């Protein structure tokens, strides 16, 4: 495989400035792994407006310049945030249609990924934002990095749960991010509703996903296997978001449904487990539903090729997932 070039852009949070030391390390890690790296103009110029680098239009221009750069193979965000959707009105999808690159990222990058799934011919990997994925210092994120290469290169493979996981916050505003991360044993993926399903896989951050409905930037979800993840699954907000998806009838025409571990779950003294809330809202379905999956905000996170074919079997207490591209 030829040496690929990754274009780094900042569609939302200016984490390359806020977490400068970790950003520099993550960038060096990409070089170690054999990639070339090219920064977008807003990153190069250190544009900073507190919670973002610049206006939505200027951030869209940064991304467009990288898209049209023939030397760049992969587009990777510095991190997520809250405002990637602000780029959508300013992206020239007519020009983007004539290019073929790979778009990575997760969380708030859901806004860009859904739009690109609907309007472009890009290959899209849910996962692999620069700082969270490649900025693990002490023991590195070997499982997550390997998953990225798997999604990037392999045509057919099984998904395997990591043996351990972590939601520990290591402060990147200080040097704490270099400390050894605390992990706990992974209990594996759990079945909420048994069954078998095969279909295109679509992965989305719940909080960002619900903000796009009513726009022109939602791909066809019929007969797909939908993977949902959230960072802060405070039960009040989670119930609202999941119910919104129910009202939009998103759960009515799927081939499977997967919920990832949230980084934070707060049941607000309700006594309800996350899976109990899911069961209450989604209800009994004729397709498999699993939870406690590892794709999203916990470490390590599995990278998944959007629109790849997923085979999901959840029967007799066992779960098997295969990806085909």
Domains of the chain by residue range = 5-135, 159-324
Q: Which residue in the list 229, 231, 238, 263 is annotated as catalytic?
A: 229
Q: Under CATH, which number does the domain 5-135 receive?
A: 3.40.50.10740
4-43: pLDDT as tens digits: 999 999 999 999 999 999 999 999 999 999 999 999 999 9
In the residue annotation, 107 being an active-site residue is answered as yes
On average, the pLDDT of the chain sits at 97
Q: Are 294 and 183 in contact (CB under 8 A)?
A: no
CA torsion sign for 108, 104, 298, 317 is: positive
Which architecture, in CATH terms, is 159-324? 3-Layer(bba) Sandwich (3.50)
Cα(159)–Cα(204) distance, integer angstroms: 18
pLDDT at 1: 62
The catalytic position among 84, 107, 129, 260 is: 107
In angstroms, how far is the first alpha carbon of the chain from the final one? 18
Say if CB 126 and CB 304 are below 8 A apart. Answer: yes
Closest by alpha carbon to 102, among 92, 113, 94, 110?
113
pLDDT tens, 225-269? 999 999 999 999 999 999 999 999 999 999 999 999 999 999 999
Answer yes or no: 16 catalytic. no
Residue-wise pLDDT for 266-309, tens only, equals: 999 999 999 999 999 999 999 999 999 999 999 999 999 999 99
Query: Which one from 12, 16, 260, 297 is the annotated catalytic residue?
Result: 297
pLDDT of residue 211: 97
Give the integer Cα–Cα distance in Å for 79 and 232: 16
User: How far from chain centre, in Å, is Cα 230?
Assistant: 10
pLDDT in tens, 41-99: 999 999 999 999 999 999 999 999 999 999 999 999 999 999 999 999 999 999 999 89
Task: Decide if 241 is catalytic.
Answer: no
């Amino acid at each position: 495989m030829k040496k690929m070039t990754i274009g780094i852009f900042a569609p939302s949070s200016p984490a390359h400035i806020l977490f400068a030391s970790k950003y520099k390390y993550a960038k060096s890690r990409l070089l170690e792994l054999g990639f070339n790296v090219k920064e977008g103009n807003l990153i190069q110029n250190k544009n900073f407006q507190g919670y973002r680098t610049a206006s939505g239009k200027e951030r869209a221009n940064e991304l467009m310049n990288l898209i049209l750069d023939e030397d760049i193979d992969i587009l990777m965000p510095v991190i997520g945030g809250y405002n990637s959707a602000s780029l959508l009105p300013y992206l020239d999808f007519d020009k983007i249609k004539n290019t073929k690159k790979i778009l990575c990222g997760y969380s708030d990058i859901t806004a860009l990924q859904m739009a690109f799934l609907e309007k472009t011919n890009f290959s899209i990997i849910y996962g692999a934002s620069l700082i969270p994925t490649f900025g693990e210092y002490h023991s590195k994120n070997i499982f997550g990095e390997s998953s990225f290469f798997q999604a990037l290169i392999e045509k057919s493979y099984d998904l395997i749960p990591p043996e351990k996981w972590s939601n520990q916050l290591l402060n990147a505003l200080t040097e704490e991010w270099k400390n050894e991360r605390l992990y706990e044993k992974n209990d594996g993926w759990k079945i909420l509703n048994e069954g078998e399903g095969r279909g295109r896989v679509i992965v989305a951050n719940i909080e960002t996903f619900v903000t796009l409905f009513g726009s022109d930037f939602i791909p066809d979800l019929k007969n797909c296997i939908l993977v949902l993840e959230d960072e802060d699954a405070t039960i009040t907000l989670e119930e609202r978001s999941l119910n919104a998806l129910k009202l939009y009838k998103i759960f009515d025409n799927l081939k499977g449904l997967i919920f990832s571990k949230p980084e934070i779950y707060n049941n607000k003294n309700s006594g309800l487990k996350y899976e109990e809330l899911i069961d209450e809202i989604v209800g009994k379905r004729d397709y498999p539903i699993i939870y406690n999956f590892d794709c999203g905000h916990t470490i390590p996170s599995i990278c998944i090729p959007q629109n790849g074919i997923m085979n999901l079997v959840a029967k007799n207490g066992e779960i098997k997932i295969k990806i085909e591209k």
